[in-house]
């Protein structure tokens, strides 16, 4: 009899896309500015919704927002907002759509001084935090670091970047390893993260 794969309990339902996301993306360190910007925007859209809802619409978001090209998004005007509000393939929330445009502008302004990657990863000195939680209830919704990042992002002009949203972002892009130790992905992600920790000492 084949051994059953143990995953974090938040994966929950048997959904192939959700399972793939957990097994291949969540907790894997990411450093590309565009992919970090995309993830930050999508986490903002997720506020008040389930991540699965956003995940299922992710390709639609990429198409609607020019593959998260910040320069193109920053130039959006009222006609683009109307277009996005009429797009059933994404989450049609005017505040979040307008925030995405202002976030693109904030991102470009920040990039004049430093990359988004350096800005965000600087809060952990480029070294992922490897937690060893055994129970799902032990995983925090926010931390002191996510609060500091949230405050710094808001100072830079970003919106929909509260500390809970930021912590979910940190988990997903591998700044934090919050796979439970019993999960089959904890060890592989920890291996990637330890390699970064050794490199950045």
Which residues, in sequence order, are CB contacts of 160 under 8 Å at separation 6+?
Answer: 44, 45, 47, 95, 96, 99, 103
How many domains are contained in the chain?
1
21 counts as catalytic? yes
Distance CA 107, CA 85 (A): 23
- Residue 129 β-bridge partners: 176
Q: Quick one: pLDDT at residue 5?
A: 87
- The verdict on residue 15 lying in a domain is no
- The verdict on residue 187 lying in a domain is yes
Q: Answer yes or no: is pLDDT of 57 > 50.
A: yes
- The verdict on residue 13 lying in a domain is no
Q: Quick one: pLDDT at residue 32?
A: 96
pLDDT band (50, 70, 90) for residue 3: low
Catalytic residue among 10, 25, 35, 51: 51
Q: Is 183 annotated as belonging to a binding site?
A: yes
Catalytic residue among 21, 35, 98, 156: 21
- The verdict on residue 19 lying in a domain is no
Model confidence over 134-170: pLDDT tens digits?
999 999 999 999 999 999 999 999 999 999 999 999 9
Model confidence over 64-115: pLDDT tens digits?
999 999 999 999 999 999 999 999 999 999 999 999 999 999 999 999 999 9
- The verdict on residue 11 lying in a domain is no
Catalytic residue among 43, 76, 107, 167: 43
What is the pTM (predicted TM-score) of this model? 0.94
51 counts as catalytic? yes
CATH number at residue 96: 1.10.340.30
- The verdict on residue 16 lying in a domain is no
Q: Quick one: pLDDT at residue 200?
A: 67
Distance CA 173, CA 168 (A): 9
In this structure, the number of other CB atoms found within 10 A of the CB of residue 28 comes to 15
pLDDT band (50, 70, 90) for residue 1: very low
43 counts as catalytic? yes
Q: Show the domain range for 75.
A: 26-199
Least confident of 10-24, 89-103, 117-131: 10-24
- The verdict on residue 21 lying in a domain is no
Which residues, in sequence order, are CB contacts of 102 under 8 Å at separation 6+?
Answer: 157, 158, 159
> What DSSP character marks residue 178?
-
- The verdict on residue 83 lying in a domain is yes
Q: Is 179 annotated as belonging to a binding site?
A: yes
Q: Is 189 annotated as belonging to a binding site?
A: no
């Amino acid at each position: 009899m084949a051994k059953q794969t143990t995953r974090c309990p938040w994966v929950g339902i048997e959904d192939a896309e959700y399972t793939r996301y957990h097994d291949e993306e969540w907790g894997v360190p990411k450093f590309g500015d565009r992919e970090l910007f995309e993830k930050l925007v999508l986490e903002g859209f997720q506020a008040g919704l389930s991540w699965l809802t956003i995940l299922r619409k992710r390709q639609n978001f990429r198409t609607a927002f020019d593959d998260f090209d910040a320069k193109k998004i920053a130039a959006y005007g009222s006609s683009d907002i109307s277009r996005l509000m009429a797009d059933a393939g994404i989450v049609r929330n005017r505040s979040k759509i307008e925030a995405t445009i202002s976030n693109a502008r904030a991102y470009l302004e920040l990039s004049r001084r430093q990359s988004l990657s350096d800005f965000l990863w600087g809060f952990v000195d480029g070294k992922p935090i490897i937690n060893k939680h055994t129970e799902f209830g032990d995983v925090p919704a926010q931390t002191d670091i996510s609060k500091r990042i949230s405050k710094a992002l808001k100072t830079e002009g970003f919106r929909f970047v509260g500390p809970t949203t930021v912590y979910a972002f940190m988990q997903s892009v591998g700044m934090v390893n919050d796979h439970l130790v019993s999960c089959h992905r904890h060890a592989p992600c920890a291996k990637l993260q330890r390699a970064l920790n050794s490199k950045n000492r």
